[in-house]
């Protein structure tokens, strides 16, 4: 049962947990964490060092929050999944280190059918009002802009960016260092290092700016430009182009990553590689770091 901290607890950490906060006795909060006014922390929650809950933050239950995160007002981390199959079974949500979770963000726990874990990596920015549904796996250093909607079982790989108001279909993968334009409707996998926009979204260009910011060499960027032109602007024999590129650019990791993604998506259902793993049994996804 939730209860306000007793007087002894307030004296022990007078500046760490605000007296109006409600914290379940089974939760573990690092002494250096800061719990602001009117926050509600449910059972079996772990909050790491120097994490800051500003005020009116809700962490309902069964959540692990790492170190140096900032959770802004009215964000909800670890809410029940919005899935009719969910029947109250024990699932969790894991938030890594150094994330900035802005106002009104909602992140839901996993489902048993989806592997049981919603996972957020490190150093991500989740802007106002975005939603991360059950069983999503989000990597590191990702920017998700205002009002983005991620359906269940979505994977977002490292260094990707998603523009405001975009909607991402369940079981979709957004590749590393990809950029999704604002208000895009994403119903197919987004290849790594590309820019997609539109309704429905389409691949528009190579994310050259993203590659440059990541420190790719000029030679590697030229190789990626060639790969992009041949896969997305060449003949319809995509599989043939992919095999040729694997051989010609065996030394360029980014080209190999792009080829792997194209092959996986084409073998999946509706252009989503993860759909091939979708069964009535448990599903687990993994976040690919890319380069």
Could you give the residue numbers annotated as active site? 134-135, 152
Q: Residues 40, 11, 73, CA angle at the centre, nearest 5°?
A: 25
Sheet holding 167-168, edge to edge: 22-23, 40-41, 58-59, 76-79, 106-108, 131-132, 149-150, 167-168, 185-186
Whole-angstrom distance, CA of residue 286 vs CA of residue 284: 7
Whole-angstrom distance, CA of residue 38 vs CA of residue 40: 6
Sheet holding 143-144, edge to edge: 34-35, 52-53, 70-71, 100-101, 125-126, 143-144, 161-162, 179-180, 194-198, 201-206
């Amino acid at each position: 049962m939730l209860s306000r901290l007793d007087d002894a607890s307030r004296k022990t950490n007078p500046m760490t947990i605000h007296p109006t906060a409600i914290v379940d006795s089974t939760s573990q909060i690092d002494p250096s964490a800061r719990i602001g006014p009117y926050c509600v922390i449910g059972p079996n929650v772990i909050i790491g060092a120097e994490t800051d809950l500003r005020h009116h933050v809700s962490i309902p239950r069964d959540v692990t929050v790492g170190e140096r995160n900032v959770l802004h007002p009215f964000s909800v981390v670890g809410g029940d999944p919005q899935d009719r199959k969910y029947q109250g079974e024990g699932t969790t949500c894991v938030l890594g280190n150094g994330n900035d979770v802005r106002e009104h963000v909602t992140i839901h726990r996993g489902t048993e059918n989806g592997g049981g874990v919603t996972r957020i990596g490190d150093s991500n920015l989740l802007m106002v009002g975005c939603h991360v549904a059950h069983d999503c796996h989000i990597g590191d250093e990702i920017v998700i802009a205002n009002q983005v909607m991620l359906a269940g079982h979505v994977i977002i790989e490292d260094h990707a960016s998603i523009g405001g108001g975009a909607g991402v279909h369940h079981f979709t993968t957004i590749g590393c260092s990809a950029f999704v334009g604002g208000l895009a409707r994403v119903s197919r996998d987004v290849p790594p290092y590309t820019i997609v926009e539109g309704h429905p979204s389409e691949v528009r260009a190579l994310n050259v700016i993203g590659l440059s910011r990541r420190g790719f060499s000029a030679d590697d960027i030229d190789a990626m430009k060639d790969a992009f032109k041949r896969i997305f602007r060449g003949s319809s024999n995509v599989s043939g182009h992919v095999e040729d590129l694997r051989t010609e650019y065996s030394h360029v990791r980014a080209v190999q990553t792009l080829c792997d993604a194209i092959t996986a998506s084409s073998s999946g259902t509706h252009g989503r590689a993860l759909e091939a793993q979708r069964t009535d049994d448990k599903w687990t996804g993994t976040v690919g770091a890319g380069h």
